[in-house]
Amino acid sequence: MHVDFYEKIWMWGALVIIVVFLVSMGYTTFGRAMQPPSNVEMIDPEAVRSDAEFGNPGVTINADGSATVVIQAFMFAFLPGEIRVPRGRPVTFRLTSPDVIHGFQIVQTNGNTMVVPGYVSQFTTQFSRAGEYLIVCNEYCGLGHHLMWAKLIVEDMPGSAGAGTGSAR
Ligand code: CUA
C-alpha cells in the first residue's frame, strides 16, 4: 500500500504524541505517586471518627497567629459546619473523609482540594478580605451532594488586624 510521504509524517507524529501521553501518565501515576495536594499522609477511613485529630475537628489558633483547621468531609456535610479563621494570616486546612471522595472548594478563593478517603488533604492559604465565604463540595458524592456545604468566616482576630497584605485573595 502506498502512503504519501506527508501522510507518513502525520501518522508518525500522532503516534509519538500518543506515546508521550501514555509515558507521562504512567510516570506521574507510578513514579510520582499522584496524591492529594502536598501530603502523602494516610489514615484509615474507618478510624477517622475516633481519630484523636479528626474525631474532634475544629480551628486551632497557633502561637504565631496562624490557624490550623481540621475538617471531616462526609456524606453529606462538613464538620465543623462553621469555620472562623483570622484575616491576613496563614491558614492551614487539613481534611479527610470517612466514606467517599468529596470536594472542598472555598468559593471565590484559591482554596480548593479533593478529599479522598484514606488520605489527609492539606493546603495553606491566606485571606486578605474579611467576610463570609461559601464552602461547597464539588465532587459528586451521592444523593445529598448538593446539600453538602459549610460557611467560612474570615475576621480580624487579635494579632491579625492590619496584617492583610498577604498573597491571597
Ligand atoms: Cu460531598 Cu459532593
DSSP-assigned beta bridge partners for residue 124 = 92
pLDDT digits (tens, 9 = 90+) for 6-20: 999 999 999 999 999
Pocket of ligand 1 (CB under 6 A): 102, 137, 139-141, 145, 148
Is residue 159 very low, low, confident or very high in pLDDT (cuts 50, 70, 90)? low
Task: Give 142's strand partners.
Answer: none
Residue 163 has pLDDT above 50, yes or no: no
- Give per-residue pLDDT as tens, 31-43: 765 555 556 789 9
At a CB cut-off of 8 Å and minimum separation 6, what does 45 contact? Answer: 96, 97, 98, 99, 117, 118
Coil, strand or helix at 71 = strand
pTM equals 0.74
| Ligand 1 atom with least separation from CA of 138 | 2
Which pLDDT band, with edges at 50, 70 and 90, does 152 fall under? very high
